[in-house]
Amino acid sequence: MQGMKKLGVGAFALFLSLSARADFTWNFPEPVTPMALDTLHVHNKFMLITAVIFVVVLAIMIYSIVTHRHSKGYKPVADKAPSTAIEIFWTLIPFAILLLIDFVIMGIPAYHSVVMMEDTRDQSTMVIKITGSQWRWQYEYLDGDAKGIKFVSNLATTDGQMHNAEDKGEHYLLEVDNPLVLPVGEKVRILMTASDVLHNWWVPQFGSSRVAVPGFIRETWVQVEKPGVYRGQCKELCGKGHGYMPVVVNAVSKEEFAQWANKKQDEQKAASDVKEMTKDELIAQGKTVYEKNCAVCHQVSGAGLPPAFPALTGSKVATGPIFGADGKYQKDSHMDRVLNGKGVMPAWKATLNDTEIAAVITYERNALGNTAAVDAVVQPAQVKAARE
Amino acid sequence: MSTTTVAHHDEHHDHPTGIMRWLTTTNHKDIGTMYLTFSLIMFLVGGSMILGIRAELFKPGLQLMNPEFFNQLIGVHALIMIFAALMPAATGFANWMLPLQIGAPDMALPRLNNWGFWILPPSAILLTLPFTLALFGVGDGALATGWTFYPPLSVQGGIGVDFAIFAVHLLGISSVLGSINIIVTIYNMRAPGMTLMKMPMFAWGWLITAFLLIATIPVLAGAVTMLLTDRHFGTHFFDAAGGGDPIMFQHLFWFFGHPEVYILLLPVWGFIPQILQTFSRKPMYGYKAQVYSLWAIGALAVVVWAHHFFTAGMPVPALLYFMYSTMAISLPLAVLFYCWIRTMWKGSMSFETPMLFTVGWIILFGVGGLTGLVLADVAADAQYHNSYFVVAHFHYTLFAGGIMGIMAGVYYWLPKMTGHMYNEKLGKLHFWLTAISFNVTFIPQFFVGLAGMPRRIPDYALQFAEFNMISTIGAFVLGLSQLLFVYIIISCVKGGKKATDRVWEGAEGLEWTLPSPPPYHSFTEQPVVK
């Protein structure tokens, strides 16, 4: 028992000495939504009660261990089996105490938390849809100022940092190219789904966490009450990129949100305008799209990770014909793969716009060691046609 | 319980010697020894896998392995620890001790018993083979889905998933065979006068475990078979595109998976009170209350499964039901804790290694139980779920509550099994090293979990670095301490001070009326319990 105490003191001293050089968190991060605040209260209360139970029971045990020792010559009490009535009485007392703790002291607040957590509609002012895919989040604003805005959010930490070749940034593994932007103070209803496997969208400071299930819609909500940047991660094992699927939410004032929405809508409109592009323009843009979305599996060099993710360099799909004699794209062609996916390869038609798809296909056919003889350049207009 | 002394004769009956003795044996003690040895080997295999993981997590960044291999290690570590280390250890004790404790000449179905064991090594090979095959370019390694096999990830996975499915089938068959044997033995082969309510607590723990296994293993077998047909034969049980539902798998899996926790712990809850009464030198308190509590836990075990996936989306009434039913488990469990501590109270306690492990077990398993109570709260669970808080919680229940309990049992019965005393000083050292390094490993994981570190990630944000470093140091000390355990066991088998029949001053029960080690055929004359 002394050992246990020593351990406690030792561990505490160790933590103290370490806390001098790092921020340690001993509890949930600062809550910024009503749900997270509620969760923190529930957690603290539970922890307090269980800690008290633990300490009291431990104290009784330690007292008994110190006092009732063979080595001290303590004689065991003639503990003849108690009468059933006494036995029942002594079991019912802790039973009753626990009944009170479980179903009254803890149970009633827990009930209210559940009801609050599951009420996604009441007073909600906007709806967004979050889709998890391997290994990125896709956000879509379904109504309000930002209606129609749709984008993909990818990990922004560089490969060099992950492999210790570069110094790690402050937000290592918790940074993205396109954060989700939300207005402060609004109850936002979130519809959640996935395109391939299960994911879980989790920001610890929000207190909400929902599994994204492919083929189903799940719901949750957030109401951020303090402007700021909030970070989290996917927390349902979703394959090799599971640790590289951060969530970043930028909570801004309503005015800023409206401005951002206008700007984003204009950008998106411009991007979706189909215009003729030169081969070089397509390749340049395609490189960016490739490295953001495709390089995770097919590698920056195009070498792939066989057998799950085939090489693009020298692949039949990336160098063979796309369009048939009738001008329509063929089954199992490069266009078909990128638009519709196959097996573990996700479908990109919902994620990328026409220009991006045309650019990435052109890039893959003219770079990564490839020089396609036929259909070397794909124009956004051709992608648009292929969608129809 | 009072017993008459029984006569023994230790002359040798004809049985094969050398390797054939072990391959063909139907003797419960030989089979028990094989189970325990297998369990110890697999404990070291599973342990070294997790040391690889902890080494990778020592500091941020990828050092040793790619994320795919990391995912394979976590899944196989769990499957090995649960199915190949903990369960066979409990079955090993059952084989060794149940017949001795209830005064039976052997297990009721000895050939089935042999078969039950020999299914295990092939399935352990099936679990670990994919790593080796991948070295030769076949497949892409072991299953990388965690031990839970959740589709669609497991539908996407490579050949390792199929290997794991078959391994789970075999392990399941072995467990069901073992369970049938235990139930039949307990119901039919008790010594005259030993009514069910006079049975040793260990027999009760195992009886309920056996019923749970028979009720739940077939559900797991069904679920993974459905997964297999989804993977290869075009069914869509778990695919929304074909009318299925990925969450249905979670319901089926955890209908097995939650009782599994109690399957691992009930045998331990059986022999812990026996150790307590031995070293407190007074009878266990509340025998009946404990028996009823074990039954209550067994019953509750099969009705609370969905608390493992509260965040997967459920109607409010379902959330509330699973929350309250889960909290209800704390009631019978508290009764057990109460009885254990009351057994120690005003005893005449001495602290040999088995008692040290038992007392440490009560405290640490208490931490696991109390953190489990908090996890039942749906709102708080949204935060804890799949975070390191959960990892710490279930290691307090499964390492402290399972493995440290098993270790208590090993030290308690080792002199009886081998006829030699183990080295008491080293045993105590092993306890302190294990208990301290266990806490150094897992206390920090509670905190990183609360701070927001998800489990099953190969790399983490900088804010989690210090705690992970401490945790890794603890894990390595914990792992290396187990080599001491192996050394203690081997040297005890090889020789040492001769153990007396009763071994421990306060030991009660039929197994202590036999010589140490017990003769090949234990009871030549049936003992009578009065």
Task: Quote the mean pLDDT of chain A.
Answer: 85
| Mutation target vs A (from B56, B153, B284, B314; most A CBs, 10 A cutoff) | B153
Model pLDDT, residue B133? 86
Nearest Cα to Cα of residue B92 among B195, B174, B208: B174
User: Could you tell me if A173 lies within 8 Å of chain B, comparing CB atoms?
Assistant: yes
| Burial state string for A188-225 with b = 16 or more CB within 10 A and e = fewer than 16 | bbbbbbbbbbbbbbbbbbbbbbbbbbbbbebbbbbbbe
Choose from B53, B377, B387, B469 for mutation: most chain A CBs within 10 A.
Answer: B377
- The secondary structure of B173-200, three-state, reads HHHHHHHHHHHHHHHHCCCCCCCHHHCC
Mean pLDDT across A174-190: 94
**Do B60 and A344 make contact, defined as CB atoms within 8 angstroms?**
no
| pLDDT (0 to 100) of residue A80 | 65
- Minimal-distance CA residue of chain A relative to B59: A164
Taking residues A266-274, report their average pLDDT: 79
Comparing CB atoms, the residue among B67, B153, B367 nearest residue A197 is B153
Record: contact A39-B380, CB cut-off 8 A: yes
Backbone angles phi, psi at A212, to 5 degrees: -90, 115
The DSSP output letter for B283 is P
pLDDT at B79 over 90: yes
To the nearest whole Å, the CA of A263 is away from the closest chain B CA by: 32
Cβ distance A11 to B440 less than 8 Å, yes or no, reads yes
**Whether the predicted pLDDT of A18 surpasses 80:** no
Q: How far is A18 from chain B (nearest CA, A)?
A: 8
Is the per-residue pLDDT at A19 higher than 50? Answer: no
Angle made by CA atoms B62, B63, B65, in degrees to the nearest 5: 80
Spatial separation of the C-alpha atoms in residues A89 and A96, rounded to whole Å: 10
Of A216 and A11, the structure prediction assigns the larger pLDDT to A216
Residue A42 DSSP code: H
Q: What are the backbone dihedrals phi and psi of residue A174, each rounded to the nearest 5 degrees, phi first?
A: -120, 35
Task: Please state the ipTM of this predicted complex.
Answer: 0.89
CB B49 within 8 A of CB B73: yes
B460-470 pLDDT per residue, tens: 999 999 999 99
- What is the count of residue pairs from A and B with beta carbons less than 8 Å apart? 299
Residues in A closer than 8 angstroms to B460, CB to CB, are 173, 243
Q: How far is A320 from chain B (nearest CA, A)?
A: 27
Alpha carbons B395 and B386: distance in angstroms, whole number: 14
Contact status, residue B366 vs residue B337, Cβ threshold 8 Å: yes
Q: How far apart (Å, rounded) are the C-alpha atoms in residues A185 and A166? A: 39
CA-based nearest distance B207→chain A, Å: 23
Nearest residue of A to residue B505, measured between CA atoms: A70
Burial of A273 from C-beta contacts in 10 A (0-12 / 13-18 / 19+): exposed
How far from the centroid of its chain's Cα atoms is residue A179's Cα? 12
**Cα B398 to Cα A113: distance, rounded to the nearest angstrom:** 29
Q: Which tens digits make up the pLDDT trace of B3-22?
A: 444 444 445 556 777 788 88
Q: Check A307 against B140: CB less than 8 A apart.
A: yes
Q: Across the interface, do A117 and B456 touch by the CB < 8 Å criterion?
A: no
Cβ contacts of B439 on chain A, cutoff 8 Å: 7, 11
pLDDT at B60: 94
- Say which of B349, B385, B387 has its CB closest to residue A69: B349
What letter would DSSP give residue B49? H
As a whole-number percent, the residues of chain B with pLDDT over 70 amount to 97
| pLDDT surpassing 50 at residue B304 | yes
Q: Tell me what the mean pLDDT of segment A44-65 comes to.
A: 92
Question: How far is Cα of residue B446 from the mean position of the Cα atoms in its chain?
Answer: 22
Instruction: Write down the mean pLDDT value for chain B.
Output: 92
* Three-class DSSP category at B42: helix
Question: B386 to chain A, minimum CA–CA distance in Å?
Answer: 6
**A81 contacts B435? CB cut-off 8 A:** no
